[in-house]
Amino acid sequence: MAQPAVLLTPMGQLERYDPNNHKFDMWLGQFSEYCFLNNVPTEPVNAQGLVLPAHNRRRALFLAHIGSRAFEVVSAACAPRFPREHSIGQLSAMIKEVFENPGHQESNRVLFHGRIQKQDESVFEYVSAIQLLAQNCNFGAAYPMIMKTRLISGIRHADTKVKLLNPLMSFEEAKRIAIDDDRIRIHMKSLAQQTTNNVNAVTVRNEALLEGEVVEIEAVPTVTEAFIVVVVVISIRTQEEIRHSEETPIANVIYVNQTTSPPVYIDVNINSQVLQAEVDTGAGIGENNF
């Protein structure tokens, strides 16, 4: 009795064809590599080398990955027959006729010249997008000059635009500078956010603590819109008690809702003498030992 075929997990990933994001020939090249990687046989041919109309695995895989828009196109073009009755070559010609027709060149150029960098788009992503659009514009020998002009016009940051205005600079060099500038800008922004969110180690000390008998918090700063400071007394001990204990905190200060704010002071009463200590309230949220 014949054993059922075992379906193995395919190697690699193949994106579905999207006419808005893919050049069809490039996608078809990826499809061929995917088939090779997964040992998908080529379409069977007859003695004259013509592809047989019978359905096959490679054609099924092709139809399963061309996306809904392209599938609608080939379904309409093949009616009243079915797409699975046509070779991949025939189906590919139908798709290119609709999505990459040379007669659409002018409209493609309009889209190209109107493309600017989106707010949430990196320069690398923007360059990739305009290069994809340019493939359907047939710029010929003027391609490098037009691409550089579109790059300068479309990127969002003026400081990068200035760096690219050298008329002797090639498009490839301009592209490299623009992408590097953007990556540095993104990295610096990330570092700045990390610095803002980090908690600074703020320690308020006074040598009198080493001699003091009793330490007591006299006053706590009032709550304002900019910050909240909470002082929590952990223990009140003498110098001798501190020496014999592994615990070092005497009091903790917790800062909440960090922001730029005016100086904050804490009055500390040590043996009837009031000392004033300044606290860094821009440190974020953390606990700090006195």
Tens-digit pLDDT profile for the chain (290 aa)?
444 454 567 787 889 998 877 888 889 999 999 999 998 998 888 767 777 778 889 999 999 999 999 999 999 999 899 999 999 999 999 998 888 776 677 888 998 999 999 998 999 999 999 998 888 788 889 999 999 999 999 999 999 999 999 999 999 999 999 999 999 998 888 888 776 555 444 444 444 444 444 444 444 444 444 444 444 443 444 455 545 555 444 444 444 444 455 667 777 666 677 777 776 555 444 444 44
Number of Cβ within 10 Å of residue 244's Cβ equals: 7
Asked if 34 and 14 touch (Cβ cutoff 8 Å), the reply is yes
Calpha distance 206→280 (Å, rounded):
15
The region that residue 12 occupies, defined by phi over 0 for left and psi between -120 and 50 for alpha, beta otherwise, is left
Sheet containing 228-233: which strands, arranged edge to edge? Answer: 228-233, 251-256, 287-289
For residue 261, give Cα distances in angstroms to 22, 226, 253.
Answer: 52, 6, 16
Calpha distance 210→240 (Å, rounded):
9
Asked if 265 and 276 touch (Cβ cutoff 8 Å), the reply is yes
Sheet containing 273-279: which strands, arranged edge to edge? Answer: 215-217, 264-270, 273-279
pTM of the full structure: 0.44
Identify the CA nearest to 266 among candidates 278, 255, 274.
278
Identify the CA nearest to 133 among candidates 141, 50, 125, 191.
125
| 53: DSSP letter | S
pLDDT at site 106:
82
269 exposure class (CB count in 10 Å sphere: 0-12, 13-18, 19+):
middle
pLDDT at site 245:
52
pLDDT at site 275:
72
Distance of CA 133 to the CA centre of its chain: 22
In degrees, rounded to 5, the angle at the alpha carbon of residue 73 between the alpha carbons of residues 87 and 12 is: 65
Three-state secondary structure call for residue 107: helix
Residue indicated by tokens 């073009």? 77
pLDDT at site 11:
82
pLDDT at site 285:
42
pLDDT at site 47:
67
Calpha distance 244→264 (Å, rounded):
33
Calpha distance 10→34 (Å, rounded):
9
| 4: DSSP letter | P
Asked if 133 and 111 touch (Cβ cutoff 8 Å), the reply is yes
Cα-only R_g, the chain: 35
